Chains A and B, each alone.
Chain A
Amino acid sequence: MHKFSTAATGFSLLTAMMLILFMISSSLFLHLRIRTQWQMAADVESQLYSLVLAENGIEYARTLLPHMELNLLLAGLDGTFSGIHSSEWRNPMSFAEALRVDPSTWKPPHDDGLPFYDGQPLLPGRHPGAREGYFFLKFSNNPEESPEHDEDHIILVRSLGIVPTLVQDFLFPHLRNSVVLLEARFRQERAFSLPSPLTLLGHSGSFQWEGEGFSIEGKETFAITLLSTSPSTLYPDLVSSLSGSQPQLIQGHGVHPSIQEVSPQDLKEPMAQHLLTPGFWNHFLLQLPKFTNDPAHGIVFLPEGGVFDRPLSGILVAQKNLILGNGAQIRGLLLHLGQGKLTLREQSQVIGGIWMSNFGTMGDKLKAGPIALQVSDSSAILYDQAAIGAALTLLPPTQLGWRILFPETVE
């Protein structure tokens, strides 16, 4: 009896041990399997999240760019371009560093290409996302120009999205970060930096000046700039339309009537040359409805003209006959395009600048047409570069490229 009990006990013990061993190994197998799947899912998620963060950085840069003076941006807060320090100088940091760095504590080694406003950095090193993750931005000049000086208003921005390792335990304490580096190529739009309060382009003009109480004031600049295309009668048409003391009311640059006639090629702002390209205006008018809005501030498009009779801070683009009513107080830019007449009624005011042009295309060349302007008594067109500058910040930068950078493609 004693011998049987020992054998049965041994057998039961063996079976129990086998069962326990099986359960432990099964649990371990399942744990590793689930952990591997979880890690895979977490890696994919963090990679995608780093892409989203980097995209957010590009969008943030897009909103900043119209407000930035590019050469100051390239030099950074200290006003000095520190030079090229490494082969990856266009990136916020090198790929190798980004994979291992603790993004919550990292600080950029210098301020070149980092945005700032009013003496303070806009991104003090990093920008946290909704969850744990960061994006870092750096602007640099396009490779066609020198690194420290911009002239063509084209700039590169690189956005680095970093998501710290989501899976960390005692077995894998130092896994690498998820990193995505994006680059966008933007052109800041300055084509509408007008040289005068009233800039006209056409081959002839019909002008009506009413009374002797209106004002076209250019201050340091000429009050009216005529962009003459050959042949053009714009200048004699304008001068002959003035009578009495009306020439005195067109002031600027210390002369009156303050009128300059220039060749379009002589415009100081290089981007203004775009205004002389038919393709520029075709594209602009085609896309404009997607970018317009109708609040008191913004870009307003009136393709059928009409009466505009309220205050506006921003850009008013109009075609056909447009009448600025008594209540029209435009601070910014007025672009009147194509055939039709622009009428400024009494008390109407434009602080900033007006561009009037009428042209079609003849092949690839510009073919100017007549323009028509009526200025009523006690209306005013006052040049204000600050108002024009504020209006230009409403224009989104033109995106010339967007790509993902990998370690092997980074310069």
Chain B
Amino acid sequence: MKNKGVRNAGHTLVEAMIASSISIIVLAGFFSTIGVFQTGSSNLSLLLERDANLWLAPLLLSRWIIPAGNNRWNQSWSGVTIDTDRLELKSDIDGPGGFPDSKLSSSFEALALRSSNSNLRVQSNRGSFQPVIKNIVEFKVDSKESGLLSIRLKTVTDRPLSMTEEDLSVSTELLFFLRNYRSNLFPENP
């Protein structure tokens, strides 16, 4: 009976050691899997965030750029002023009663856009530049032809991705038709 107990005790110790080893391996695999998943998830988030900036840009920019130059006839200002990395837009779109009043005093009637510190920034009237889309490292404006504006955006991830040295910047070119610069057969102010 005693010999049987000693033999069982040794047997249990070996089994326990084997079980512990297996547990360590299982747990190590478990945490490694979590680590890999978290890294992948973090990278995916960074890429999605980068792409979301590019999705958002056409919507925001089209609302600001397309109506530029509204009610510009006989005004002292130019509707669109282009510098290579800066765009100024003026549009009389509002006033008392909801109609243009030949002044640029309402919000978003005089805008300036530029990229600085990896952010696309907008300035409304005499306010300061405020970031609207982040991680935009390049903002180039070009007027391809009358009434057509080309904007080139380059965006990067918020920080480098883990476990890769690849350049993950993405560039896109957006074309905007300036609706108030459409040719008219007859003069606007005859």
List residues of chain A with CB under 8 Å of any chain B CB: 4, 8, 11, 15, 18-19, 22, 26, 29-30, 33, 37, 40-41, 44, 47-48, 51, 55, 143, 184, 187, 189, 191, 274, 277, 279-280, 283-284, 287-288, 290-291, 395-396, 398-404, 409-411
* Interface contact B98-A283, CB-CB below 8 Å: no
| Chain B residue with Cβ nearest A400 | B188
Cβ-neighbour of A44 out of B19, B56, B71, B99 (below 8 A): B56
CB contacts under 8 Å to A, within B49-77, are 52, 55-56, 58-59, 62-63, 66-67, 70-71, 73
* Interface contact A280-B30, CB-CB below 8 Å: no
Cβ-neighbour of A401 out of B71, B187, B190 (below 8 A): B71
* Interface contact B187-A283, CB-CB below 8 Å: yes
* Interface contact A40-B55, CB-CB below 8 Å: yes
Alpha-carbon distance between A284 and B186 when the two chains are bound, in angstroms: 6
Cβ-neighbour of A287 out of B19, B37, B185 (below 8 A): B185
Alpha-carbon distance between A401 and B91 when the two chains are bound, in angstroms: 10
Cβ-neighbour of A191 out of B30, B55, B59, B186 (below 8 A): B186
B139 to chain A, nearest CB (A): 19
* Interface contact A280-B55, CB-CB below 8 Å: no
Given contacts A191-B186, A399-B184, are A48 and B70 in contact (CB under 8 A)? no
CB contacts under 8 Å to A, within B15-41, are 15, 19, 23, 26, 30, 33-34, 37, 41
* Interface contact A284-B70, CB-CB below 8 Å: no
* Interface contact A18-B30, CB-CB below 8 Å: yes
| Chain A interface SS verdict (over half) | helix
Instruction: Assess whether B179 is interfacial by the CB under 8 Å rule.
Output: yes
Chain B residues with CB under 8 A of A44: 55-56, 58-59
Chain B residues with CB under 8 A of A26: 37
Alpha-carbon distance between A274 and B186 when the two chains are bound, in angstroms: 10
Instruction: Assess whether B182 is interfacial by the CB under 8 Å rule.
Output: yes
* Interface contact B185-A51, CB-CB below 8 Å: no
How many positions in chain B have a CB within 8 Å of any CB in the partner chain?
Answer: 43
Instruction: Assess whether B97 is interfacial by the CB under 8 Å rule.
Output: yes
| Chain A residue with Cβ nearest B97 | A411
Alpha-carbon distance between A395 and B185 when the two chains are bound, in angstroms: 8
* Interface contact B186-A22, CB-CB below 8 Å: no
- For the A-B complex with A22-B30, A33-B48, A287-B184 known, give 11 more contacts whose Cβ atoms are closer than 8 Å: A11-B23, A41-B55, A44-B56, A48-B62, A51-B62, A274-B187, A277-B190, A395-B186, A398-B185, A409-B93, A409-B106
* Interface contact A48-B59, CB-CB below 8 Å: yes
Chain B residues with CB under 8 A of A48: 58-59, 62
* Interface contact B26-A15, CB-CB below 8 Å: yes
* Interface contact A398-B99, CB-CB below 8 Å: no
| Chain A residue with Cβ nearest B8 | A1
* Interface contact B34-A29, CB-CB below 8 Å: no
Instruction: Assess whether B12 is interfacial by the CB under 8 Å rule.
Output: yes
Alpha-carbon distance between A187 and B26 when the two chains are bound, in angstroms: 78
A315 to chain B, nearest CB (A): 11
Cβ-neighbour of A291 out of B34, B37, B185, B190 (below 8 A): B185
* Interface contact B99-A37, CB-CB below 8 Å: no
Instruction: Assess whether B3 is interfacial by the CB under 8 Å rule.
Output: no
Alpha-carbon distance between A290 and B37 when the two chains are bound, in angstroms: 60
List 6 A-B pairs, Cβ < 8 Å: A22-B30, A37-B52, A284-B185, A398-B185, A402-B67, A402-B182
Given contacts A41-B55, A191-B186, A283-B186, are A409 and B94 in contact (CB under 8 A)? yes
Instruction: Assess whether B172 is interfacial by the CB under 8 Å rule.
Output: no
* Interface contact B190-A409, CB-CB below 8 Å: no
* Interface contact B99-A402, CB-CB below 8 Å: no
